Each structure stands twice: as C-alpha cells, then as structure tokens.
Amino acid sequence: MYDYQNTLQYAQQQDQTDPLSPFCDRFLIPQRDGLPLTYLCGNSLGLQPVAAREALNRELEVWQGHGVEGWFEGEEPWLYYHRYCKEPLAKVVGALPSEVCPMNNLTVNLHLMLTSFYRPTAERLKVLTIASDFPSDQYALETHLRTRGYNPEEALVEVKPREGEYTLRTEDILQVIDTHADSLALVVMSGLHYYTGQVLDMPAITHQAHRYHIPVGFDLAHAVGNYPVQLHDWEVDFAVWCSYKYLNSGPGGVSGIFVHERHHQAGLPRLAGWWGYQEERRFEMTKGFVPMAGADGWQLSTPTILALAVHRASLAIFEEAGMENLRAKSERLTGYLEFILREINHKYGNPVTMMTPAGASERGCQLSLLVEERGKVLFDELVRNGIIGDWREPNCIRLAPTPLYNTFEEVWRVGQVLDHFYSQN
C-alpha cells in the first residue's frame, strides 16, 4: 500500500511532510546522557504532555487560593470537573457525551460494570471471555463470579487461538457464542489484546451476542486513543479503559467508562457512592440513592482533581489532532516498522516472528515480536541503543510506534540496531 524505503533519507522525508510532526513537541521525551530516547512503550505508559505541568499548577493554585471553596468557586469549579473531559473523551471512543465518564481505575470500573450487566439466571449464568486476557481482567472475572456464588471453572467460557496460531479468529468467537447462547449471561473481553496486539472484531462480536440478547462489554485499555472505536454506533453495552497508556494521562491516571444510552433509564443494579448521586441534591445528604443521569450515575467517590487535570490536558491534544488523522499516521508508521522487520527477516533467515496480525484493520500501533533465540539479549541491545520497548516473558518484545510523538526516523533506527545485532551474531 505504501512505497516504503529502508533509508534514512526516506524516513526523514516522511517526517518533514508529516502534518502531525509538530505534536512531537507537545511531549517531554525521556533522555539518557543528554540524548533523547526512542520511546516505543506508549502501550505501557504514555509520555508526559508538556501541558500537564501547567494543568497541575493551575489546580494547585486554586487549592492554595480557595481551599475547600475550590469545589464551588472560580471559572471552573472542581464540582463539575468530570464534565470538562466528557466531550473530548466521547470523540475518542465514538460515543455521546452522556455515555462516558472519567472516573476511578480500570479494574474498579470493570467490577462496577459486572455488577450492573452480569445478571445470571438459572439457565444463563456463564461469561464468555478470551483465554490469556490481561491478568487483572482474569482476576476480576474469577473473583466476581465467586462473590456471586459461582465456580469460575464452570461459569467461565474461554476462547483460545487455534493450535499453532497466536491470534484469535473471529469466526471461532462467533461460533462459541452460537454454541453457548442458551447459557451465556455476558460477553466481556479486551477489544485489543495486550500481548499480541490483535484488535478483535468488536462490531461483529457485539452483533452476534445481541442476536441472543446477551450484553457485551469491552476492556479498551490498549485500544483507547490507539485504535478508532465507535462504541455508540456498534451498540456495545459497556466499556472500560485506563488513560495512562495511549491517552498519556500519567501513571495510574483516571480510568473511564462507557454505558450505552439505552441503559440509562433501565434501572440497572449498581454499586453506588455519593458522587454518583443526583448532582443538584448531593449535598442534602439524604438516604436513598438517586443516580445522576447517564454514565455519570456510576461514579463512586470524590474525584481526584489533579489526575483529571492531566487527563483533560492530554484529551485536548487528541481533540486538536483528531483520531482520524492519528489513525492515518499510525497505519503508515506501524506499517513502516513491519516493513523494516520483514527486511531483517529476509536478510537473516527469519529470526523474528510477528505475532500481531499483518492487516491494519486488525491491529493498532503495537507490534508483538516473538524472538525464540536470544530474545532478551536483543531486547537489552535495543535498550543499550536508547530504544525503549517492552519485554514480556518468555520471549516477546512489544514495540509501539505512537503517532503523537514517534517518528519515521526512529523506526528506521530500530532497523539499524536490529541489522547490526544480527550481523554480529
């Protein structure tokens, strides 16, 4: 699709004509010995926006000058701070503003959504997920089922890749939904697999489950801000995500939820807290929970304003750049890394296996590389050369060229390090 060339001149030319290249200056690039690192680990922790410090300082000044009255005074009272994030967040996940809310942390939000959407009956009590999903999700499902009185070994249905394959086939997931339709109470899984980098066909999975009136939820931790999703139009029932990866909102940054508008008046059971109580009556301190309208009604505790401030600063960058533009660059940039890797394989007898699907529609910006021979040695060599990726035992290197702050020249440099490593070994 693209006429890639494995040359420094080509890479620099792509960067010079890249309309998103100015956004690199919006981020603080880590350095070593005074030189910037090639940071390809946004799939684990995104880089700090330059605007984050100003956003924090602004709220610190409000705290200093107003104390507790900061909740009610000033141009942007803290009482309504979650509102300031809703519009840009909705654009990132393809939702209505009323359907999203920044709050809590991801696994807390997953438990909240399970409380509302896992409604087992004597006939339908099973949960469909994917095997080897992110451990936190596995633990959440396992323990949630136990608190409901079910044995996870009996109540969990897991879909696995076929023998000898690394990724899941959509037809296999759909077939399992068909097979277990009469016993399934919920379908919940990652929309983009953390280990392989595969994007699942979320619209198809949702449509198939809804044929049998089975609700569907996705963990978008590795998809949000990376792969364009349209949660409202796909009619997904709920979704959760974190903001510290591709959304660049700081370590342990605020999570978020999506609840489709058709559920806003459904009276779903939920675990409640005072910040989800009807906003205009919250300080009456009365008994009897009355939820706020929309996704906001799932809030629990007083929000962490400083975390929301950084989140808001990062979302402003996404709003300016536009997910469509970011996705277009991501496809080109990740495709260039794939091209470089294929040249290395051709030259040195296939030392690297790419577990991530080759089709752009089936992946985000992360490529997961299986390196059977001396994988950790190769990873350490990348680090020594200032290339920061992610090592996963026993033999996986994850590299994620992120369109907001990575360049074609950086991807070319990865190829140079790999070429030198294999030429010497």
Instruction: Dig out the tokens for 31 from the structure.
Output: 């350095």
What's residue 413's pLDDT? 98
The total number of structural domains in the chain stands at: 2
- Is residue 52 within 8 A of residue 314, CB to CB? The reply is yes
Domain end position, chosen among 321, 346, 378: 321
Domain end position, chosen among 266, 293, 321: 321
The answer to whether residue 3 sits within a structural domain is: no
pTM score: 0.96
Same domain, residue pair 399 and 293: no
Same domain, residue pair 102 and 241: yes
The answer to whether residue 1 sits within a structural domain is: no
- The C-alpha atoms of residue 292 and residue 101 are separated, in whole angstroms, by 11
Same domain, residue pair 314 and 329: no
Q: Is 213 left (phi over 0), alpha (psi -120 to 50) or beta?
A: left
CATH number of residue 343's parent domain: 3.90.1150.10
Instruction: Dig out the tokens for 113 from the structure.
Output: 């959504």
Amino acid at position 172, single letter: D
Same domain, residue pair 365 and 301: no
What's residue 1's pLDDT? 64
- The C-alpha atoms of residue 220 and residue 130 are separated, in whole angstroms, by 14
What tens digit of pLDDT does each residue of 83-110 get? Answer: 999 999 999 999 999 999 999 999 999 9
The answer to whether residue 225 sits within a structural domain is: yes
- Is residue 401 within 8 A of residue 52, CB to CB? The reply is no
Same domain, residue pair 281 and 378: no
CATH number of residue 96's parent domain: 3.40.640.10
Instruction: Please tell me whether the peptide bond between 152 and the residue prior to it is cis, using omega within 30 degrees of 0.
Output: no
The answer to whether residue 135 sits within a structural domain is: yes
The answer to whether residue 400 sits within a structural domain is: yes
The answer to whether residue 2 sits within a structural domain is: no
Same domain, residue pair 353 and 399: yes
Along the 425 residues of the chain, how does pLDDT read in single tens digits? 689 999 999 999 999 999 999 999 999 999 999 999 999 999 999 999 999 999 999 999 999 999 999 999 988 999 999 999 999 999 999 999 999 999 999 999 999 999 999 999 999 999 999 999 999 999 999 999 999 999 999 999 999 999 999 999 999 999 999 999 999 999 999 999 999 999 999 999 999 999 999 999 999 999 999 999 999 999 999 999 999 999 999 999 999 999 999 999 888 999 999 999 999 898 888 999 999 999 999 999 999 999 999 999 999 999 999 999 999 999 999 999 999 999 999 999 999 999 999 999 999 999 999 999 999 999 999 999 999 999 999 999 999 999 999 999 999 999 999 999 999 97
Measured CA to CA in angstroms, residue 51 lies from 75, 83, 226, 370 at distances of 19, 19, 20, 37
Determine how β-strand 184-190 pairs with β-strand 126-130.
parallel
Same domain, residue pair 102 and 217: yes
Same domain, residue pair 303 and 399: no
Domain end position, chosen among 297, 321, 345: 321
- Is residue 370 within 8 A of residue 396, CB to CB? The reply is yes
Could you tell me the residue range of the domain that residue 12 belongs to? 8-49+323-424
Residues 332-350 as b/e (b if ≥16 CB within 10 A, e otherwise) read bbbbbbbebbbebbeeeee
Same domain, residue pair 37 and 168: no
What's residue 74's pLDDT? 87
The answer to whether residue 72 sits within a structural domain is: yes
Same domain, residue pair 225 and 186: yes
- Is residue 4 within 8 A of residue 10, CB to CB? The reply is yes
Q: Tokens 């489950």 correspond to what residue? A: 209
Same domain, residue pair 27 and 82: no
Same domain, residue pair 238 and 299: yes
